[in-house]
Structure 1
Amino acid sequence: MSDIDIAITGTGLLTSAGAGVHRAWEALESGTPGFGDGAGLPWPVAAVDPRHAPWPDGARWQNIRKYAGPGAHWGLAAARAALARAGWEDGAPAGDQAGDQAGDQAGRPDPTRGGTVVAVSSNGSDELADILPGLAVLAQHDERPIAELLYDEVPDYAYIRSIPSQLGQFVALASGFEGSNLSVYGETGAGGLGALALAVRLIGSGELDRVLVVGVSPPLPLTTAVAFDREERFGREAGPGRGPFDLDRAGTLVGQAAAALLIENTAAARARGAAPLARLAACETLCAADRASATAAVVDDVLARAGRPADLWWAHGCGSVAMDLAECEAVAPRLGAAVPATSSKGTLGNALECSALVDAVLAVEALRRGRLPAVGLLEKPDPALGAVDFVVGGPREVPGAAAALVTALGHGRDAATAGAAVIVKGS
């Protein structure tokens, strides 16, 4: 992969705070958590209101709406918001803009030079949710590659059998991108950073000029939620003192969300007249013997690639006693005590498959605003976490911050996947 300057030109969010980056930011700054009773589950959940993800207007969208599950509604809402912020509408760039060298006769960028990568758990169908536990058990000892196993074992009626997700097809329709359409499934994607790292490779290799990265974490089926809870306990309370990094934290706080980032070769973005919101200096995911080793290695990797230190840290910080400790032990020595740290999950919850994409979008906003919100529900930082400068009690001004480190861990006591990204302030 060649070194190439990559710009973030569009972002979109759908969270328990509502639709839009500004809604999530308001919730973070006000310290207003979005947790409800979990619709009968034993864990509080920061749930998305489906009314905040309306289906697009127009005949072509209405004709295919019957095929779209809740995840498709959510992901499409975030994707279209990112496209609009990047100056893209209805499958083409808005306005009279210059095209790339490979542009079509209308002067627009070549659609085959754009692609999509989505981070998802499943296609959202009830039928597939019923068979996923059996597939997970089978995959533990089956020698077939996961793609082959899914193709062989998933019934024909399930879209996942063909690997590119249902959501990816809707996102491609919204963007008009005709290049690669890829999917990254499950928590091994480190909260969506696996999808973002794959998108970086597609641009860095020269295959594409731009990639729309979309992640969705829809409501967890009960069987999946129980399995996650057994792997790494979910929090039973979401009140003051139970937030990430708190001395009295007692488990991962669960959330739902959809997030989207449009990343582009900076030269191609400027050629079409787009103003970068930020620059993606590095992004990677790694597996190691354990999550602490994976986190340390991936942070070293992205900081080395970025060629500069981070001025703020947007941590995974999910509220798990063990995961918060492992993250701090791995990351804090690599940043120093003077770097302020926050997390979104005490307010918005841990949206498993796209949590890090949510944080990447928020980190872009933090650099743009020169301000860092406090860690939600954090009252007494745990001394065992070491000398970390957590933002507590209210937002903190960080006017000189130019680079943010975003970290993500896979869920589960035996999970050994971690991701990290370095985002640099736009100019």
Structure 2
Amino acid sequence: MARQPTSAPARAPFDAAITGVGMVTAAGVGVERSWERIRAGEGTAASEVPALAGIPADFACAVADFDPSGLIERKQAWRLDRSSQLALVAAHEAVTDSGLDRDSWDATRVGVILGNGIGGAATWEKQHNVLLERGPRKVSPLLVPMLSSNMCAGYVSMMFGAQGPSLVTSTACASGTTAVGMARELLRSRICDVVITGGTEAPLVPSLIAGFGQMRALAGRRDDLSTTSRPFNADRNGFVAAEGAAILVLERAEDARARGATVRAMVSGYGASADAYHATAPEPNGRGAELALRAALSDAGVGPDEVDHVNAHGTATMLNDATEARTIRRVLGERPAVTSVKGVVGHSLSAAGAIEAVATALTLEEGRIPPTANLESLDPELDIDVVFKAGRDLRAEVAVSNSFGFGGQNAVLLFTRA
């Protein structure tokens, strides 16, 4: 006889304290600069990205004026792919923000979990061109360590001497969210006392962007590129590709309080699921996304009617926005105020969930929801309360952040006010 499926046993609520944050986005290098533009709802898509010259979609949300040499020695920097450089700069800011002293922590109990899906794409494409043009003997011996997706976590571990588990999660555009959820589990299981977590991605290379273009996933508006990324807008027609990184430092709540740390918010729930439906399209009714959302609620011991705010995946693609809106309405009702930060920072793939996790934490800390940038006419088919045109003061106690990716990957984090 076939065994009947059983539900997972309920677990005691667990809060992971966010004690440090770092960001590198198209909105700016550092949390202060990035958050200022996100709060203002100011779009950032560039008109021409030199690396993308010659392909139809030659614009993106790139990180301007990024120079890691102030933190990473120039000799070391050229050995790192840009995805690792972005991660190191964001991680340095986050650990500094946390107030933790690496000379006093137990390094064997400090973990690193980052989300990354594409690895050193720019390095790989560059060295492939070297192979074709100059032959195999001219290919860099650093190619493999520069392109391997695990190296962003590896280099962060090296920067801080963190000797606990170091790994990368790869769940497409849900990778950063998955990483934060797994980091919380390392604390919950008491394997680690501190986890440096988040995501990074540097995908602005011709082959990848051309591939997204061929899929018709990218936005096509060129009249005003700063408003091209238009989540939930009636005339949205695709996402704007981006690069970036965001890092959070997580500790057990009691440990953070004991050392007098400033806690920005708590990660109190996590849920994940698979659509098991299609390689690139979401399940039309959002049933997989609903599973992840309900799992996060259950993990936190929070009812659907207690959620005040949703930081949406909100990519500005027709299918994703519609499916996500239906899921939010079905599960959470009309109560939560919804926003998407991708109108400002674009879609940075594996880093997106981490950037949105930081944004959600800051929203709870400050009591103000940033607007969905570039949203002029809300799609009438989307029956949710989207914050747009201006931010909204709201002392939210509970918020969720959604992330969905190719392969039917769904991940949801639930945050509570500290």
Contact 2:307 2:335 survives alignment (8 Å): no
1:202 to 183, 186, 191: 186
Unaligned residue ranges in structure 2 (runs of 5+): 1-10, 129-140
Contact 1:38 1:47 survives alignment (8 Å): no
Q: Provide the C-alpha distance between the structure 2 equivalents of 1:304 and 1:286, rounded to a whole number of angstroms.
A: 14
The AA in structure 2 aligned to 1:384 is E
Give the CA deviation at 1:416. Answer: 1.1
In the TM superposition, what are the counterparts of 1:203-352 in structure 2 within 5 Å? 203-231=187-215, 233-237=217-221, 238=225, 240=227, 243-290=230-277, 291=282, 292-308=286-302, 309-352=306-349
Contact 1:249 1:321 survives alignment (8 Å): yes
Bigger mean CA offset, 257-266 vs 304-313? 304-313
- Asked if 1:111 corresponds to 2:98, the answer is no
Q: Provide the C-alpha distance between the structure 2 equivalents of 1:375 and 1:178, rounded to a whole number of angstroms.
A: 40
Give the direction of change, closer, same or farther, for the CA distance of 1:47–1:126 in structure 2 (3 Å limit).
Answer: closer
Q: Provide the C-alpha distance between the structure 2 equivalents of 1:226 and 1:263, rounded to a whole number of angstroms.
A: 37
- Asked if 1:22 corresponds to 2:27, the answer is no
Partner of 2:21: 11
1:75 to 87, 99, 106: 87
Partner of 1:421: 413
**SS class of match (1:255):** coil
Give the CA deviation at 1:239. Answer: 5.3
In the TM superposition, what are the counterparts of 1:188-199 in structure 2 within 5 Å? 190-199=174-183
**SS class of match (2:292):** helix
Q: Provide the C-alpha distance between the structure 2 equivalents of 1:186 and 1:156, rounded to a whole number of angstroms.
A: 26
Aligned length: 378
Give the direction of change, closer, same or farther, for the CA distance of 1:126–1:336 in structure 2 (3 Å limit).
Answer: closer
Give the direction of change, closer, same or farther, for the CA distance of 1:310–1:38 in structure 2 (3 Å limit).
Answer: farther
The AA in structure 1 aligned to 2:29 is A
Unaligned residue ranges in structure 1 (runs of 5+): 93-107, 133-154
Give the superposed CA RMSD.
2.5
Partner of 1:366: 363
Contact 1:164 1:182 survives alignment (8 Å): no
- Asked if 1:410 corresponds to 2:398, the answer is no
Partner of 1:142: none
TM-superposition CA deviations, 1:179-235 (whole Å, max 9, x none) = 111012351x61411111221222222211111013112143222222233445110
Q: Provide the C-alpha distance between the structure 1 equivalents of 2:60 and 2:353, rounded to a whole number of angstroms.
A: 18
TM-superposition CA deviations, 1:231-254 (whole Å, max 9, x none) = 451102245586100001011122
Q: Provide the C-alpha distance between the structure 2 equivalents of 1:392 and 1:362, rounded to a whole number of angstroms.
A: 16
TM-superposition CA deviations, 1:280-328 (whole Å, max 9, x none) = 0012321123432221110111012122221111101110011101111
Q: Provide the C-alpha distance between the structure 1 equivalents of 2:408 and 2:276, rounded to a whole number of angstroms.
A: 6
Q: Provide the C-alpha distance between the structure 2 equivalents of 1:244 and 1:196, rounded to a whole number of angstroms.
A: 24
Q: Provide the C-alpha distance between the structure 1 equivalents of 2:67 and 2:338, rounded to a whole number of angstroms.
A: 30
Contact 1:372 1:396 survives alignment (8 Å): yes
Bigger mean CA offset, 241-250 vs 324-333? 241-250
Give the CA deviation at 1:25. Answer: 2.1
The AA in structure 2 aligned to 1:422 is L
Q: Provide the C-alpha distance between the structure 2 equivalents of 1:204 and 1:170, rounded to a whole number of angstroms.
A: 25
Partner of 1:384: 381
Q: After the TM superposition, which segments of 4 or more aligned residues of structure 1 sit over 6 Å from their partners?
A: none
After TM superposition, the score normalised by the length of structure 1 is 0.82
TM-superposition CA deviations, 1:87-145 (whole Å, max 9, x none) = 035x34xxxxxxxxxxxxxxx2311111101212344265534799xxxxxxxxxxxxx
Q: Provide the C-alpha distance between the structure 2 equivalents of 1:62 and 1:234, rounded to a whole number of angstroms.
A: 34
Partner of 2:169: 184
Q: Provide the C-alpha distance between the structure 2 equivalents of 1:74 and 1:181, rounded to a whole number of angstroms.
A: 17
Q: Provide the C-alpha distance between the structure 1 equivalents of 2:300 and 2:410, rounded to a whole number of angstroms.
A: 18
Give the CA deviation at 1:66. Answer: 3.8
- Asked if 1:48 corresponds to 2:63, the answer is yes
Give the direction of change, closer, same or farther, for the CA distance of 1:38–1:287 in structure 2 (3 Å limit).
Answer: farther
Give the CA deviation at 1:271. Answer: 3.6
Contact 1:379 1:393 survives alignment (8 Å): yes
Aligned-pair identity (%): 25
Q: Provide the C-alpha distance between the structure 2 equivalents of 1:283 and 1:72, rounded to a whole number of angstroms.
A: 26
Contact 2:20 2:249 survives alignment (8 Å): yes
Q: Provide the C-alpha distance between the structure 2 equivalents of 1:216 and 1:329, rounded to a whole number of angstroms.
A: 29
